[in-house]
Amino acid sequence: MRRLTAALTASAVLVVGYAGLDAADFAPGLLTTRPLPPPPPTETPGTRTLPVVPQPSPSTSFRMPLGSLAAEGAAPSAAGVRRALAQVLDLPALSDAALVVRDGQSGEVLFDRGGTERRIPASTTKLLAAAAVGHVFAPDETLKTQVRQGSTSNEIVLVPGGDTLIAPGAGDRDAVAGRAGLADLANQVVKALEDSGIDEVTLSLDPSYAPGPTRAPTWGADFHRLGIVGAVTMLGLSTERARENHPAPNDPVTSALDAFAALLEKRGISVASRVDPAGATTRTGTPAPSQRVLGSVESAPVRDQLALALTDSDNTLTEVLARQAAFRDGSATGFDDVGAWVVRQVAELGTDTQGVALSDASGLSRENRVTADLLTDVLVLGYDGRHPVLRTALEGMPIAGLTGTLGDRFATDSTADAAGRARAKTGTLTGANSLAGSVVDDDGRLLVYAGLVAGAPTLEARAALDRFVAAIAACGCR
């Protein structure tokens, strides 16, 4: 009996104690009086929103997770930013650097040293390309790869639609690279052919969508061999993307066409292909496709592909997306043409592009010239809620110390303040290094920044740019 009484008493104490914690908002429950947190920001056009900032765990970052983003009252001051950067600006690697810091929520310029100077942007060019592509494609627009009937019932035509991330087998609905599957397309086509009693076909390709040269004349001769960039075509397999020291096929279209023919053969359809033996992507004798669609697969949304291109700094994917956006907009599709088109599109967004010149969309060309001011203009636009495709692309920028091209950076005592909470697009060419992105400072305020460094060795330039970002991340700057 005494044990039962003691147990009941202990239970009562626990219930009353928890109720007290609940009412005091230290524990969740029915008595909690603290209001619920506001809903997360949205991408409603015309409404300024803040980026979704991942909350890294202590086990994978250098600091505790971030708190909520600050309101207008926590805006930093220009004087505060200058104080925070005082020592960093004296670093030798930044002696010839254009540096800009802006309030990401209001757009106010907080620091500008050489922001209007025209410099080589390297891969930060991709931010401009993302803005231009987002100006053409709808937020959820996808790319279709189809097979249509040719001029006769036994002729089938593969019609590329710009998807270079097709899985060689079944597609994965949760993937960006590999959302559409070549095997899924083959299954559809085989069923349509069998329903018509056809078991032998001639397979051809329609090369009319966004044609153009596969390599830019301003790129290094060894860029393809080193896997820095692949051939720019409107069809390709996700497993054949160019990666460092793993070059892509010389002709991704022929590779995909051959893989598709093999899938049809495996399913009992005899295939005679008209592929040029030399492997050229421009083929003669292609029958005009009819309106009858025998099969169709769709890519991940273009905005998700742009985010992937920024995460991986994928030069080929960026060029592919920019070329077809220019093509859809009625522009010519040479590399210089697409570069000029990107500049025009960015200008139409209300930015100052005076003196800006691009010879490609990915930033591999040393002839490109961009200003740090323009890069921060695009970043501010990406966070203002009116450009959802660009906004999603910016969410694909690597995270300091964690992902992509920033995965091995921000690991020192002098840069750790930005680890886990800065996003940035990197840029690296010999003698030209850049960094442009966003960071949440110690007051919870979103800042955007751009740094373009000339002349300094790559390792020194990267270290100095990382310290630049870490300084504004740690300051609060009010």
Query: d(Cα 141, Cα 144) in Å, to the nearest integer?
Result: 10
Query: d(Cα 457, Cα 455) in Å, to the nearest integer?
Result: 7
Q: What are the sequence ranges of the domains in the chain? A: 1-36, 72-137+306-313+330-475, 144-300
Sign of the C-alpha dihedral computed for residues 55, 56, 57 and 62 taken in this order: negative
**pLDDT for 135:** 93
Residue 172's closest CA among 267, 321, 297? 297
Residue 233's closest CA among 217, 255, 261? 255
Asked if residues 163 and 235 have their Cβ atoms less than 8 Å apart, the reply is: yes
**pLDDT for 73:** 54
Sign of the C-alpha dihedral computed for residues 63, 67, 69 and 74 taken in this order: negative
Asked if residues 447 and 80 have their Cβ atoms less than 8 Å apart, the reply is: no
Q: How many residues does the chain have?
A: 478
For the CA atoms of 156, 215, 301, 188, the dihedral, rounded to the nearest 10 degrees, stands at: 20
Which CATH superfamily hosts domain 72-137+306-313+330-475?
DD-peptidase/beta-lactamase superfamily (3.40.710.10)
**pLDDT for 462:** 97
**pLDDT for 406:** 94
Q: What is the pLDDT of residues 371-421, one digit of tens each?
A: 999 999 999 999 988 899 999 999 999 999 999 999 999 999 999 999 999
Instruction: Count Cβ neighbours within 10 Å for each residue of 272-292 and write b for 16 or more, e otherwise.
Output: ebebeeeeebebeebbebeee
Q: What residue type is 242 in one-letter code?
A: A
Q: What is the pLDDT of residues 274-330, one digit of tens each?
A: 644 444 433 434 567 778 999 999 999 999 999 999 999 999 999 999 999 999 999
Cα-only R_g, the chain: 27
Residues of the chain with pLDDT under 70: 1-73, 274-287
